[in-house]
A and B are shown apart, each in its own frame.
Chain A
């Protein structure tokens, strides 16, 4: 029981970052019908920017909360700009081209960012530990039944889950309650009709990329603190978050969130009960099963249009 509980906590903690990345995939897919394969690299760039900020502010000895706020805020801002630039320079010129062209471009952008990050001007090829801004420590400790049956929750788990849930709430508010969110929902249905409403569709698309990229940055910083920073760190989480978005129903925002948590849980359970050798493979097994059994995903919707 304690072992299972511990695995579930770990799974949610990992899944929370997948969920944050998956939100960007699903939002961009919602407006452009594009799987933005460069999204994992935006996550990586979030970690890289956070790394440099953390090194920069280290000598000033700020309190943990202040340092975290600057690091997260800086990474989010930088990635929002990066997301804007990717869409503006790489995808916008191809707006009316076949989707395959844009998809291949996305893979190209992904490779470009991976390789840029490996140059020493951006980061460099070797993994680096994140500067010690916040020390990992156990904040909750339950003994279940006996002294050997202990379940622990670390401050990083709480950070990951708290940020993920909080940002999901903010995102829901933006999408459901604001003027910009209404425009986003309209544009995700049809460009031409939306522009007849007076919506600047290009601006709405930019906004979507910036929002999704800022969320990916948060996931990147959490994982940078938890593990380390590497130029290729975006590859696996990027692919798994893509699977999570498909699992939840690509285009569905709550679906991406649920999908992310589920992928995190499945992966951790496989690691805990089968073998950690399968932990990366299982996400792709899930992808294959979903595509065979329910291609629209858990919360995906099918809409009939009345003529």
Chain B
């Protein structure tokens, strides 16, 4: 297992957000996490990447390294990049500077240039926009920049929080196509989505999260056919 989350408990004050969540992700997989608003999807991602502190349970990296208690910048250093919900581009910095920040822990300019070339290969539009300020990019371009920025850290595990949020269907399809490409080149992906159909179409396996608990887990194709999933998340 590349990442295994065991019995994770997280709460905001008295409110329990995650109540014993267990999720495991194998090398090379795309794993989808679907669920309604407020189910705890973003909380799970933010806890894995060190932005939130868990109350109980464990998060094991490669079966041995405990991530609980590490600061977010230390988790990045292990090879886990997180594309946050709402993209969180630095609006006052140029696209190039945003990308440079994604590779902040790499000090060699040569290596960074190489990685940037690769990101420009995935997202040619970013090369055209590289001197433009992040805040002036369109929503789709910002999402590409956010993913490209995370790829600058050369992650082994990419955490994606709602990459389809607020984007036109055509753009969403394009983004998911690139997610597949990134995965095909060897990066493991943990994908959080409200767009359950899209997510389960690209994923190998999936988890359904409901009010802080994993209700269901199966291969993506089984979940797409599952009657409860259809009713609750796929519009019948």
A-to-B contact residues, CB < 8 Å: 179, 182-183, 185-186, 189-190, 192-201, 301, 303-307
Contacts and interface: CB of A to CB of B under 8 A. Distances in A.
A304 B136 CA distance: 10
Contact of A189 (B81, B91, B102, B142): B91
Given A199-B101, A304-B135, A307-B86, A185 B92 contact: yes
B229 to A, nearest CB: 28
A260 B149 CA distance: 37
Nearest to B88: A193
B82 A196 contact: yes
B187 interface: no
B118 to A, nearest CB: 18
A194 B88 CA distance: 10
12 contacts: A185-B93, A189-B93, A193-B84, A195-B50, A195-B73, A196-B72, A196-B81, A197-B73, A199-B101, A303-B92, A303-B135, A306-B139
Interface string B57-71: 000000000000001
Given A186-B90, A306-B91, A197 B104 contact: yes
Interface residues of B, number: 31
Interface string B78-90: 0001101010101
Interface of B: 49-51, 71-73, 76-77, 81-82, 84, 86, 88, 90-93, 97, 100-102, 104-105, 107, 135, 137, 139, 142, 149, 153, 166
> Which of A182, A195, A196, A197 has the most C-beta atoms of chain B within 10 angstroms of its own C-beta?
A196
A101 B30 CA distance: 45
Nearest to A203: B73
Given A193-B84, A305-B135, A307-B166, A198 B90 contact: no
Given A182-B101, A185-B90, A306 B73 contact: no
A190 B88 contact: yes
A182 B97 contact: yes
A198 B77 contact: yes
A199 B73 contact: yes
Contacts of B91: 189, 303, 305-306
Contacts of B72: 192, 195-196
Contacts of B88: 190, 193, 196
Contacts of A196: 49, 51, 72, 76, 81-82, 84, 88
Contacts of A301: 92
